[in-house]
Amino acid sequence: MPSITFLPLNKTIEVKKGESSLDSAINQDIPLQHACGGFCACTTCHVLVKSGAENLSPMEEMEQDRLEEVGCMTPNSRLSCQTQVLGDVVLEIVNLE
C-alpha cells in the first residue's frame, strides 16, 4: 500500500492506491481543511509536494486554474482533493485546521 507522510505533523499513513490524498486524510483523522467538500471549488486543501510528485495523478487544468486564480500556486502546489495517490508521497499541509 502507498503511504503519505503529512508535514508538519510528521504523521505517516497507509492509503488505498488511487484514493485522493484528501479522502485518505479524512479517513485517518488528519486535520486537512476542505471547505468545498473536495470538489475543486476552493483551495483550503492546498498542499506542497515535498517528495514523490511522480506518485500522484497528473494535475488537470481545473486544479491548475483554481490554484492560479487565488495566487497561491508554487511549482510544488497541489489540491489534495484532486491528487490520487499512486505511490509514496510526502505532503506539507499549508492550512492546518
pLDDT of 69 higher than 90: no
Q: Are 41 and 53 in contact (CB under 8 A)?
A: no
The residue with greater pLDDT, 73 or 20, is 20
In sequence order, which residues have a C-beta less than 8 Å from that of residue 90 and are 6 or more positions away? 4, 5, 7, 49, 50, 51, 52
**Domain of residue 83, residue span:** 3-93
Q: How many independent structural domains does the chain possess?
A: 1
Supply the CATH number for residue 12's domain.
3.10.20.30
In sequence order, which residues have a C-beta less than 8 Å from that of residue 22 and are 6 or more positions away? 32, 34, 38, 45, 79, 80, 81, 83
Q: Which three cell numbers stand for residue 52?
A: 514523490
pLDDT of 58 higher than 70: yes
pLDDT at 97: 59
pLDDT of 72 higher than 80: no
Q: Is the pTM of this model over 0.85?
A: yes
Closest CA to 20 of 94, 69, 78: 78
